């Protein structure tokens, strides 16, 4: 009986030992993914800030500028692309809505991102766009891959419609989480005007051609990223925009259109941190807790099997 029990324990030990790496290196890359129907809203503020008054075309110091960012998963579109791509795809429809201290719209830029649900790598299947213009995205946007590495990544900038390195600057502690800090500086670059702008009597889509005035932009972008889920728990930008030259400025060389240090509003920051803490537990179960637990269980079963086998081989005690 001991030998039979030992063989059963040995079989279970082999099974759990094989299941441990299988769960980590086979199941995890296939099962853990970004859900296609995710919805997320984030509110950021710049306090104080400089904002162009489009009525007088004068830069004014204001109490705050509010930026509302929404990400909405387009399930129908992702399913359509999946049929051709042959893999799990997520389509995010994003909207960046900027409003002044009076609550009126300053600009509004819609975006669409198509990416692999597991790796977050862009999927070039058409449909990716910024402000209605088709773009070919390289690198990440909004989210890092699961199990983020300590290295630089290519990050897509919606204003310039181009990707550039975002640099890993070390590990930090943020609200009880060990996070990776990334930083990117976009130098002054001429960028298109948003198609929705509060300029009376002027079509923003042809503004540069009509007036000769150009729009320029620079930013220092900062992210604190949870390395387990790849989700940013905090994001900030030191953002500057200028209008330069042309007849719109009445002979002036340049004027500040927007300048401020953009930060997440505290209540949304609290919600984001709590959400990431919940999601990281699920990822850790697949990558760490379960594989290690199964391996430890296999070692215990193997030791118990050897113990039973050793006892079964002991010579019987002589009869009295």
192-250 confidence digits (pLDDT tens):
999 888 776 667 778 888 889 999 999 999 999 999 999 999 999 999 999 999 988 88
181: CB partners within 8 A, 6+ apart: 168, 169, 170, 171, 172, 222, 223, 224, 225
73 shares a domain with 1: no
How far is the C-alpha of 152 from the C-alpha of 169, rounded, in Å?
A: 9
Does any domain span residue 270?
Answer: no
Residues in the chain: 320
Does any domain span residue 13?
Answer: yes
For residue 206, the SS3 value is helix
173 shares a domain with 123: yes
94 shares a domain with 127: yes
174 shares a domain with 290: no
What pTM did the predictor assign? 0.88
C-beta atoms surrounding 53 within 10 Å: 12
152 shares a domain with 195: yes
pLDDT at 236: 96
Does any domain span residue 38?
Answer: yes
How far is the C-alpha of 211 from the C-alpha of 154, rounded, in Å?
A: 35
Helix, strand, coil percent values for the chain (each to nearest 5): 30, 40, 30
CA distances from 97 to 45, 128, 131 (A): 12, 19, 12
Does any domain span residue 63?
Answer: yes
160 shares a domain with 37: yes
CA 209 distance to own-chain centroid? 36
pLDDT at 95: 95
167 shares a domain with 103: yes
36 shares a domain with 132: yes
Extended strands (E) in 34-138? 39-53, 58-62, 65-73, 89-99, 105-116, 129-130, 133-134
236 shares a domain with 108: yes
133: CB partners within 8 A, 6+ apart: 161, 192
How far is the C-alpha of 289 from the C-alpha of 195, rounded, in Å?
A: 49
141 shares a domain with 61: yes
Does any domain span residue 271?
Answer: no
Does any domain span residue 15?
Answer: yes
Does any domain span residue 277?
Answer: no
290 shares a domain with 255: no
C-beta atoms surrounding 190 within 10 Å: 11
83 shares a domain with 17: no
State how many domains the chain has.
Answer: 2
Give the containing element (helix H, strand E) for 154.
Answer: strand 153-157
| Residues of the chain scoring pLDDT < 50 | 320
- Expressed as residue numbers, the domain containing 292 is 1-23+283-313
pLDDT at 319: 57
Closest to 115 in 3D by CA, of 140, 149, 134: 140
CA 231 distance to own-chain centroid? 5
Helix intervals (H) in the chain: 2-22, 28-31, 75-85, 207-211, 266-284, 290-312
Buried-state track 121-139, b at ≥16 Cβ within 10 A, e below 16: ebbeeebbbbbeeebebeb
């Amino acid at each position: 009986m001991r030998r039979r029990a030992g063989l059963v324990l040995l079989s279970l030990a082999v099974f759990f030992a094989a299941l441990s790496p299988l769960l980590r290196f086979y199941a995890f890359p296939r099962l853990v993914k970004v859900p296609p129907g995710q919805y997320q809203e984030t509110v950021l503020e710049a306090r104080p800030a400089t904002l162009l008054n489009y009525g007088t075309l004068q830069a004014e110091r204001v109490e705050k500028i509010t930026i509302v960012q929404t990400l909405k998963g387009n399930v129908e579109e992702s399913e359509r692309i999946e049929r051709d791509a042959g893999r799990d795809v997520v389509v995010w429809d994003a909207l960046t809505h900027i409003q002044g201290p009076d609550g009126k719209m300053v600009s509004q830029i819609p975006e669409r991102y198509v990416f692999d649900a597991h790796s977050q790598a862009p999927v070039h299947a058409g449909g990716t766009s910024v402000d209605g213009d088709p773009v070919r995205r390289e690198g990440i946007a909004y989210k890092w891959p699961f199990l983020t590495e300590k290295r630089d990544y290519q990050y897509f900038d919606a204003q310039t419609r181009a990707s550039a390195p975002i640099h890993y600057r070390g590990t930090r502690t943020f609200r009880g989480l060990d996070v990776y800090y990334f930083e990117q500086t976009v130098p002054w670059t001429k960028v298109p005007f948003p198609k929705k702008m509060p300029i009376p009597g002027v079509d923003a889509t042809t503004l540069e051609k009509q007036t000769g005035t150009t729009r320029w932009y620079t930013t220092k972008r900062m992210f604190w990223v949870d390395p387990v889920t790849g989700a940013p728990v905090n994001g900030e930008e030191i953002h500057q925009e200028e209008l330069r030259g042309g007849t719109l400025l009445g002979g002036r060389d340049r004027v500040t259109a927007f300048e401020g240090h953009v930060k997440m509003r505290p209540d949304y920051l609290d919600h984001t941190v709590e959400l990431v803490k919940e999601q990281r537990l699920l990822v850790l179960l697949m990558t760490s807790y379960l594989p290690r637990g199964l391996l430890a269980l296999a070692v215990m079963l193997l030791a118990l099997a050897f113990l039973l086998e050793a006892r079964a081989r002991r010579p019987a005690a002589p009869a009295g």
